[in-house]
Structure 1
Amino acid sequence: MKGHKDILKDKHGRAHNYLRISLTERCNLRCTYCMPENGVQLTPKGHLMTYEEIYDIARLFVKHGVTKIRLTGGEPLIRKDIPVILEKLASLPVELTMTSNGITIDRFIPDLKNNGINKLNISLDSLDAEKFKEITRRDQFGKVYDNLLLLIKEGFCVKLNVVLIKGFNDNEIIDFIQLTRKLPLTVRFIEFMPFDGNKWDITKMVSYNEVMHRIYETYDKNTVLRIQDAPNDTSKNYHITGYQGTFAIISSVTNPFCDTCNRLRLTANGQLKNCLFSSTESDLLTSYRHGKPIEPIIQKAVQSKFSMRGGMDTLEKLRDPNLHSNNRSMISIGG
């Protein structure tokens, strides 16, 4: 391992220019696919990255080629120092974005605008208030929906993330697409993925093909237009003729996009995950706090990245709980 040239390029030739940073393991919702029923063991505060550490580590990644940073959680906006974090990261030459559940985002619109954040991902898994309450274990649908409309009114580019679970919200696919008729947003349907404690099994998953089948039952195929995907895009994008918005499908399980993956994840306690599905992590924070260089750790982690889904390159492997139960729950990885 000589020098630190191209430390973000893996052995499969993939260059990683997109870093997702989780700011907290805490959240003001309790989504069933994200958080285990009994909660998670939270990392002690002293073992979480401070805003200075977040900035310094992010700056190092930018030095080596990162051009986009997404802030996640938990819910990133519940960190008390979020305005400072936004201001610090906005000083870097990157595209800065965020994923939020939308509950308190109305309070931070000036902070987002002042720091150049104009693209947001908002999580909303049902348009039915009772279903929303069931899946999030909180009665906050009205607040999230109102804030969604507010963000659009304020000029933000909004993507709505919808995790589909068979028998729960798959009957709302067309309802979500109907939102794009008059609203300039993108609805993204996400295949249900396995994480620690979320009781995943493949029978609960709504596949890409099933989503498209539902859509073609309602819309004439000639009106469902395939859109050119952006480079390294995780989703397959579509537009209904005459609609203001678009919709997309993220098929991480049935049709993964691993061959063009450019993403790395930094957890709130400073662990680098080279893949969402990976059960291994690399500790950056401890070395950073001891004044040791972290570039060799980053390079080793990137070089050890599997070609597909943390080594689960078949559906048979994905069905084996022993292969993914050692991964974190989604809330402690970062959405």
Structure 2
Amino acid sequence: MKSSSRTFFSSVWKSSTRRRKSSVAVFETQSIEEFPRLQALREQLQRDQPVIHRTKQRLTTLQPTDDTVQLREWIDTLPLPTTILQDSYGRFHNYLRLSLVERCNLRCTYCMPPEGIPLSDNLLTSEEVLRLAAHFVSRGVNKFRLTGGEPTLRKDLTEIIQGLHALRPKQIGITTNGVVLTRKLNEFIDAGLTSINISLDTLQADKFEQLTRRPYFTKVWESIVAAHQAASEQAHLTVKVNCVVMRGVNDEEVPNFIKLTEQFPHLQMRFIEYMPFSSNGWDWSKCVPYQELLTDDLTPVPSPDPSDTTKWYQTPTGATVGFITSMSEHFCGSCNRIRLTADGQLKVCLFDGREVNLKNVLRLPDVTEQDLDKVIYHALQHKQKQLGGHPDPASIKVDNNRPMTLIGG
């Protein structure tokens, strides 16, 4: 580790002793009944939109059955589409996020319930992942992001990256917690990886252990240093650090995270608004709108990508800092993303609990490319205009959705 990174590491480590002990109290799960305003909103939604609300609770799939014969009969009734990846609002989806594994070597409080999660024993094989990826590329997808769980736990990850690289997309990215990234970092880059997002929500080792329920801060830090070094040597590689900001937990660390970009000029820092998922204890009081984190010395920077989810700013030193504003200012109108979970479920929206089992379709004995087109198009025609069909972020919490670790970060 270079001396500059050692100095910064030492300074943030010492600062952990000065934190407020009360910060960990926000990890306790609270029900919606403990918040009168949210409860009133929920009751109002039930009165004003009873049909929609009950439907969202009942439907967890956009297909009628998993039975092979009935599934075939259902596919045959679907219309043959023309523009496969365009939804009913005219949004074209050229960005596929591939979750490769459900397991994770961390237990982050905002991602995984304290009791853990039931894992599927029937995930997509690498051959199936690459076949579906090739199909999506032939229909217009040109950007991939590999997620989990923790994607570096997938033993055939290098082979999957190589297979995706052979499809010649514009970008192959990975979102990782960084715990074991250093073991095969160069191997992944040589295979075709072009973008690395490393999740880190605190610069304090003891708080890291509270947030993740694991003592791996040093390993993650070493991955950030190694990835930054790789980015400094290879112009095509971008490295970002993602931080989920939670009020009373790590919001006071935002200035230190921004200073991190001064130590590591090839690093981009992004702050993510805390989002609601199944059993993660979300409520408005813990969400920090990005406007509260802006300072006068941050200058807005336009993004060349009209579908970029990040609002970018430049620091006085020329570093790049971004904010993902899913809660305070959603970007659903320009959404170009679809997700494929590790167990083969196609999700057209992060906040919609409904899914289509693309794995079962792919495994039909006589499946054709046309069959896949029909099912993918069918799913996209059910994509809602914004927030998975919810009127506001608070109502997302009551949807029948998965924990984030099963959806794919």
Normalised to the residue count of structure 1, the TM-score between the two structures is 0.93
What's 2:250 paired with?
169
- Alignment map for 1:103-182 (pairs within 5 Å): 103-155=179-231, 156-182=237-263
Normalised to the residue count of structure 2, the TM-score between the two structures is 0.76
1:16-46, Cα deviation, whole Å (9 max, x unpaired): 00000000000111101001000001011xx
1:186-232, Cα deviation, whole Å (9 max, x unpaired): 111101101011011111111112112xxx2xxxx2x3211112320
* CA distance in structure 1 between the aligned counterparts of 2:228 and 2:219, rounded to whole angstroms: 14
- Alignment map for 1:63-102 (pairs within 5 Å): 63-94=138-169, 95-102=171-178
What's 1:188 paired with?
270
Which of 328, 335, 344 lines up with 1:270 in the alignment? 344
- Using the aligned pairs only, state the percent identity: 43
Deviation at 1:315, TM superposition (A): 4.2
What's 2:128 paired with?
53
Q: For the pair shown, which has the larger CA radius of gyration, 1 or 2?
A: 2
Deviation at 1:179, TM superposition (A): 0.7
1:116-148, Cα deviation, whole Å (9 max, x unpaired): 213111000000001111001000111111110
Deviation at 1:80, TM superposition (A): 1.2
Deviation at 1:185, TM superposition (A): 1.2
Matched, 1:197 2:275: no
Deviation at 1:317, TM superposition (A): 3.0
Q: Which amino acid aligns with 1:199?
A: G
What's 2:97 paired with?
20
Q: Which amino acid aligns with 1:141?
A: F
Does the 8 Å CA contact 1:86/1:111 hold for their aligned counterparts?
no
Deviation at 1:175, TM superposition (A): 0.5
Q: Which amino acid aligns with 1:334?
A: G
* CA distance in structure 1 between the aligned counterparts of 2:162 and 2:146, rounded to whole angstroms: 13
* CA distance in structure 2 between the aligned counterparts of 1:59 and 1:313, rounded to whole angstroms: 35
* CA distance in structure 2 between the aligned counterparts of 1:177 and 1:328, rounded to whole angstroms: 32
SS in structure 1 at match of 2:291:
helix
Does the 8 Å CA contact 2:275/2:326 hold for their aligned counterparts?
yes
Q: Which amino acid aligns with 1:57?
A: L
Distance 1:316 1:29, change over 3 A: closer
Deviation at 1:2, TM superposition (A): 4.7
Runs of 5+ in structure 1 lacking a partner?
none
Deviation at 1:294, TM superposition (A): 1.9
* CA distance in structure 2 between the aligned counterparts of 1:317 and 1:83, rounded to whole angstroms: 39
Deviation at 1:329, TM superposition (A): 0.1
Deviation at 1:180, TM superposition (A): 1.2
Which of 224, 232, 252 lines up with 2:326 in the alignment? 252
What's 1:38 paired with?
115
Does the 8 Å CA contact 2:247/2:288 hold for their aligned counterparts?
yes
Which of 302, 309, 313 lines up with 1:228 in the alignment? 302
1:99-123, Cα deviation, whole Å (9 max, x unpaired): 1111111111232222221311100
* CA distance in structure 2 between the aligned counterparts of 1:142 and 1:315, rounded to whole angstroms: 34
Equivalent pairs, count: 320
Distance 1:171 1:11, change over 3 A: same
* CA distance in structure 2 between the aligned counterparts of 1:224 and 1:123, rounded to whole angstroms: 22
Which of 306, 309, 333 lines up with 2:387 in the alignment? 309
Does the 8 Å CA contact 1:10/1:302 hold for their aligned counterparts?
yes
Does the 8 Å CA contact 1:192/1:200 hold for their aligned counterparts?
yes
Deviation at 1:314, TM superposition (A): 2.3
What's 1:299 paired with?
377
* CA distance in structure 2 between the aligned counterparts of 1:77 and 1:315, rounded to whole angstroms: 31
Q: Which amino acid aligns with 2:242?
A: N
SS in structure 1 at match of 2:244:
strand
Deviation at 1:246, TM superposition (A): 1.1
What's 2:38 paired with?
none
Structure number with the higher helix fraction is 2
* CA distance in structure 1 between the aligned counterparts of 2:156 and 2:315, rounded to whole angstroms: 41
